[in-house]
Structure 1
């Protein structure tokens, strides 16, 4: 244990981990790996929390409700991002001046290599993944994770050259020590209104990414993404010739840095304007840690994107099936629609758990498309008024069964639900996997 890490753990003996699942298990495993002897207890209000069977017998576990005595007797509480700080039991602990942190704060105490991080309402998973892929392409050992893929604590290793983290607003709420070589704040749109008091509350959580950042990378079309403190150098991205942007040379569009071309847009495998923006951010992050951008261009040209994010999963007789299950809010679905090249009819599947969102912004965009709207899931009714073609289904499978017989070459079937998945699926990945299975089934029938 390094001297700085030892200092962080001085005086801490009793630790309570709140919430299991992948993140909670990573916290327990990390705590057990420390040379300092700790008393570790776990609370999960679910009666059968995922992963509880993986804990060894030395860990005391309370499930099905809160155990307030444990919280108020703790030296440190490590809470899952899914637990709101406004939860009364957590508030009682905070009122006793018991520190409440998340896994990212523990990561911040221990990380020894440079860290870059990405937050925003939409696009952060693609930017995180792309940044990691590009850094690895030039021979760096890179730890990629956080809110995407591998929990941050499982990334910690002595041989890492660079960490690339996706950070949600939930994770940032309990993080105060994370030092970043560069912090990217992509955009801000309505999301998680079931968790926050309003947009100002949500935006304030996102702003925490800049607390100890050496460089801020922000969206020059969204003032909300700029750091509120004045002492951070700011780099912007957007679709003009400033900082990281685009330029036109001889009728060809290029991604650019300070007006100088970096790579031709037509050479990229990614599709959609939103992915040009994502590429610019990845380049800005790598530039901030002194990686020569010319060395990552081959990898950028061949990058095809994330699973479940505008992912082509079947193409048969000119009929394309797009899995965009990761579109769990309105802005993400709007981004997917803005990048479409349509020659036929778009069959758009929307619905799930709306999280209190207002879906009306979709209506004018849908009016400009040759679209048939298919609404399913718990909050499917909230979409029906958005377009005259709307049909209501209980499940996604019912919708696809109806769509299949009328498909023609040039048509596009897209799952971009603008909602969370947990009414009918374990998570958005399971929803996307099921869409992919059905899409490939129907594509095979047509072959």
Structure 2
């Protein structure tokens, strides 16, 4: 336990009053602790609900006198605020301790905590692990970067907590001492924030600090901890596993999820679309095993797994054309994975584009050339993506989601799939990836109804 996190004499601050910052405020208020809040948005001064919640708290909104930061001993900096922000730099220069909400959470909770991160699949795996542990009879709280802020899970009567953790959360976290931790995969993402791949990797790898068990992806060496210490290692791969590893092996002409040479479940019994979801199921099984739950109970839960919205979600079948919403694919690796998982002998019409986040879009060239009959591009990165593709690829542009869906329906034939998998962030045209996915689904609904939106 870190005494400065609970000492009544510590001068505290919250920097950034989004969902995470508000959860910290409610937590500290419930403990009777005094603190100040800081946010660059002047508009928060007119937020009646926030001001009611913070009626006895000193609030600094907008362009502040930065000397107000100098008396702070401990600052919880919300994930949306970069550590390079001038306010954070000043706090550090004045000797303040910087941490995140997850540090407060693990310092407070007295049940095992599982941490899951990676460039892609972390929300789905977090959900799957929660489902499998529930199937094992546990009362499970699921949250973190996925939906509910970690601190809002504290008041639940639970046996175990499963958290999705982003690189933004981890870069400011201390030694979390998790019961089990994993980095699912690592590929280029968030370079607009982290600047370089090594810094992005370092942020992700902070999840391993003090972990009791580490679950590793043998096929992605970037996910392996440099020093696992005394942690128990559980390994998995999406191919033939070695002894005491989880993987996928052919048994009597069928693909089976196996532990070493022991068949556990047939691949075809995983009720979710795509090879990437088979990988998600395998790593979820590995995490449950690392926590000590019986394999028989975990395996019986695999057939009941459900997916999350906007993650390779099959949303319609019209005249033999399937429509798949993968709006959560906000980087190139996620889109490559979606193409590989959905193709299954189909020609694809891909809808992509948005905010590019300084990615290298050339990695899309090969899978798009091989499997996509047309690409429809939207948003800020449209020209950049088009320039990275083969000149033989059919590329069109759309100014709205409804226009993109209309073009896709014209291009697609029976047996094809229309795949929204943007490889980009959504913020140039939408509030978030969820709104982008809903716009895709609404456009399909309107088209089926004989209208366009």
Q: Separation in 1 of the partners of 2:204 and 2:14?
A: 24
Q: Partner of 2:275 in structure 1?
A: 273
Residue 313 of structure 2 is aligned to residue 315 of structure 1: no
C-alpha spacing 1:283/1:344, structure 2 compared with 1 (3 Å): closer
Measured in 2, the distance between the counterparts of 1:345 and 1:216 equals 39
Q: Does the aligned pair in 1 maintain the 2:285–2:299 contact within 8 Å?
A: no
Aligned 8 A contact 1:25 1:51 in 2: no
Report Cα offsets for 1:38-74 as digits up to 9, x if no partner: 1x22211123259943322222322223542232111
1:291-345 CA distances to partner (integer Å, 9 max, x unpaired)? 1122133432132311110001111222111110000000000110111235554
Q: Normalising to structure 2: TM-score of the pair? A: 0.93
Stretches of structure 2 lacking an aligned partner (at least 5 in a row): none
Q: Cα gap change, 1:42/1:221 in structure 2, threshold over 3 Å: closer, same or farther?
A: same
**Larger mean Cα displacement after TM superposition, 43-52 or 115-124:** 43-52
Indicate conservation of the 8 Å contact 1:21/1:51, yes or no: no
The superposition leaves residues 66-113 of structure 1 with CA deviations (integer Å, 9 ceiling, x where unpaired) of 542232111211111011112222112112210111111111110110
- Distance in 2 (alpha carbons) for counterparts of 1:41 and 1:7: 16
The partner residue of 1:147 within 140, 145, 148 is 145
Aligned twin of 2:48? 53
Q: Give the whole-Å Cα distance in 1 for the aligned partners of 2:329 and 2:370.
A: 20
Runs (4+) off by over 6 Å: none
TM-score scaled by structure 1?
0.94
- Structure-2 change in CA distance of 1:100 and 1:368 (3 Å): same
Match for residue 232 of structure 2? Answer: 233
What's the offset of the Cα at 1:407?
3.8
Change (3 A) 1:106 1:12: farther
Describe the SS at the equivalent of 1:212.
Answer: coil
Structure 1 window deviating more from structure 2 (385-394 vs 303-312): it is 385-394
Counterpart among 245, 256, 259 of residue 257 in structure 1: 259
Q: Which of 339, 343, 352 is the aligned partner of 1:341?
A: 343
Alignment length, in residue pairs? 441
Unmatched 5+ stretches in structure 1: none
Of 4-13 and 140-149, the range deviating more from structure 2: 4-13
Distance 1:340 1:377, change over 3 A: same
Measured in 2, the distance between the counterparts of 1:382 and 1:285 equals 39
**1:430 equivalent in alignment to 2:428:** no
Decide which of 177, 196, 200 is 1:179's aligned counterpart.
Answer: 177
How far off is 1:379 after superposition?
1.4
Residue in structure 1 matched with residue 417 of structure 2 by the alignment? 412
> Does the 8 Å contact 1:81/1:170 carry over to 2?
yes
User: Match of 1:224?
Assistant: 222
Query: How is 1:108-127 mapped onto 2 (pairs within 5 angstroms)?
Result: 108-127=106-125
Aligned counterpart for 1:15 among listed residues 12, 17, 20: 12
